[in-house]
Amino acid sequence: MNVPVPGPIPGSTNLANDHQLKICFILSSIGGPRMLSPLLSGHVKEDIAYVVVQRSAGAGLLDVLVECLREELNRKTVVAGHSLELQPGAVHFLPNERNYSLVGNKLVSAELPASARLSLDLLFTSAAASRNQCAVVVLSGMFTDEDGLQGLEKLKAAGAPIVGTLESHTPVFDWIDQLRGRGLMGELYPLKNLLEHLRFTNGEGHMGTSPGPIRYLVADDEEKIRTVIVEMLRLRGIDADSAVDGLDALRKIQKGRYDLLILDLNMPEMDGLKTLEALKTIDPHLPIVVLTGLDDPDKFRAVNGFKVMGILTKPFTFDKLQKILSAHPASPANGGPAGAAPGAAAPSKSAPK
């Protein structure tokens, strides 16, 4: 479908004379309105303009939504009409009935046919061509049409990161897979502190998360084992956290950044195999070392279906674990940042401690 492209409106500011603006686009759809309040409450910054793209709601519904949010947020909230000058520190809402493009720091629009809806490709293409620093936050999974994916590709190619959350009122695994499959989706964080992880780093539209020390996560239901591994890692200069089972590990991975996961296969609540399956969606590039107390060929074959660095059979010496870890680019011995995990290794039989 050919969509009308809005041109500059009379009196609009010339792009060349506009100061650069930081813009955070928030993609929201079914279930999204209930997520906006916890997302924005207390985390809106005065130097960033927030633009909520609500593709499932027209101007009438947005008026009601904004009225409900205005007091909660204690923040200026605006529903866009024919044009809208973006303001730092304010939350701007785009209704579904119009197409918008970014001209300088102003959103200008064109009427849409009755059967059409706001074009993400048009909006993000204009944002990618602007001098503004941009980022995208995805709240729900209703943007899997080709138009939305193409628009996100153009904006990311211009340096804008795309981050999201697994917390939603709609199923989200399919759209996360689609975004990851196109190389678009960045990190996933809990909704309540998602915006805290965004960092505008320079004047060229690039934004990302702050780098930090090397961090490993140890997930094992046996307290003695995870405590010993964590302490040994810390003695070798690696910051390490622990998780009591797979579900606890997934929560921590969603909340923070880890360079490597040491994962026990046999745990309550969520075992290692289910955790590996979930990580294919949540963080498919996270390097993983698997621990197991069972000599089970079927489980070894199942594990090798995932991207793991190696498998250790309990009991094992720390030297055996260290040998596998030393192959990881984020190891202090290699002096490099975290990278993709090497291919799966064969099970490593180790002598008792």
Token pair 């995932």 is found at: 306
pLDDT in tens, the chain (353 residues): 333 333 333 333 333 334 578 999 998 765 556 778 888 886 888 899 999 887 665 566 677 777 767 767 767 888 888 888 999 999 998 887 788 888 889 998 876 666 567 788 888 888 888 878 899 988 765 555 677 788 888 888 888 888 887 665 555 555 666 777 788 878 777 888 888 877 664 434 333 444 457 889 999 999 999 999 998 888 888 889 999 998 888 888 877 778 899 999 888 878 888 888 888 877 778 889 989 887 767 777 778 778 788 888 888 888 888 888 887 655 555 554 433 333 333 333 333 33
Last residue of a domain, one of 208, 234, 255: 208
Q: Domain range for residue 260?
A: 215-348
SS3 content of the chain, % helix, strand, coil (to 5): 30, 20, 45
Shared domain check, 250 and 151: no
Shared domain check, 225 and 158: no
Longest dimension (CA), the chain: 79
Residue 161's nearest CA partner among 100, 205, 103 is 205
Domain presence at residue 5: no
Domain presence at residue 4: no
Structurally, the chain folds into a number of domains equal to 2
Last residue of a domain, one of 185, 208, 231: 208
Tell me what pLDDT residue 125 has. 86
Q: How far apart are CA 119 and CA 245, in angstroms?
A: 43
Domain presence at residue 8: no
Q: How far apart are CA 103 and CA 124, in angstroms?
A: 12
Shared domain check, 253 and 171: no
Interstrand relation of 22-28 and 133-138 (parallel, antiparallel or unpaired): parallel
Shared domain check, 156 and 130: yes
Shared domain check, 258 and 180: no
Domain presence at residue 3: no
Sheet holding 347-348, edge to edge: 239-243, 215-219, 260-264, 288-292, 310-313, 347-348
53 - beta bridge partners? 27, 94
199 - beta bridge partners? 208
Q: What is the CATH number of the domain that holds 44?
A: 3.40.50.180
Shared domain check, 262 and 245: yes
Last residue of a domain, one of 189, 208, 227: 208
Q: What is the CATH number of the domain that holds 312?
A: 3.40.50.2300
Tell me what pLDDT residue 242 has. 93
Q: How far apart are CA 351 and CA 148, in angstroms?
A: 54
Shared domain check, 55 and 94: yes
Token pair 């697994």 is found at: 166
Domain presence at residue 353: no
Q: How much is the pTM?
A: 0.54
Domain presence at residue 162: yes
Domain presence at residue 294: yes
Identify the three-state secondary structure at position 149. Answer: helix
Shared domain check, 139 and 72: yes
Q: Which two tokens stand for residue 195?
A: 């915006």
Shared domain check, 240 and 125: no
Shared domain check, 240 and 194: no
Shared domain check, 29 and 78: yes
Shared domain check, 171 and 263: no
Domain presence at residue 1: no
